[in-house]
Chains A and B, each alone.
Chain A
Amino acid sequence: DAGITQSPRYKITETGRQVTLMCHQTWSHSYMFWYRQDLGHGLRLIYYSAAADITDKGEVPDGYVVSRSKTENFPLTLESATRSQTSVYFCASSFSSGGSGTDTQYFGPGTRLTVL
Chain B
Amino acid sequence: LAKTTQPISMDSYEGQEVNITCSHNNIATNDYITWYQQFPSQGPRFIIQGYKTKVTNEVASLFIPADRKSSTLSLPRVSLSDTAVYYCLVDNTDKLIFGTGTRLQVFP
Is chain B a partner of chain A in the same complex?
A: yes
Q: How far is the CA of A103 from the CA of B63 in the complex (A)?
A: 19
Complex: A101 Cα to B20 Cα, angstroms: 21
C-alpha gap A43/B34 in the complex (Å): 15
Is B87 within 8 A of A99, CB to CB?
no
In the bound complex, residues from chain B placing their C-beta under 8 Å from that of A74 are none
In contact, A31 and B44 (Cβ under 8 angstroms): no
State whether B98 touches A104 (Cβ < 8 A).
no
Count of chain A residues near B, Cβ 8 A: 28
With A40-B100, A41-B100 already in contact, the answer to whether A48 and B44 are too (CB < 8 A) is no
B107 at the A/B interface (Cβ < 8 Å)? no
- A42, A48, A101, A110: the one contacting B95 at CB < 8 Å is A48
Main secondary structure of the interface of B (DSSP, over half): loop
The size bracket of the interface on B is 20 to 34
A54-100 interface with B by 8 A CB criterion? 56, 58-59, 90, 92, 97-100
Interface of B toward A, CB cutoff 8 Å: 30-32, 34, 41-46, 49, 51, 87, 89, 91-101
Chain B residues with CB below 8 A from A43, complex form: 44, 87, 98
- Distance in angstroms from A99 CB to nearest chain B CB is 4
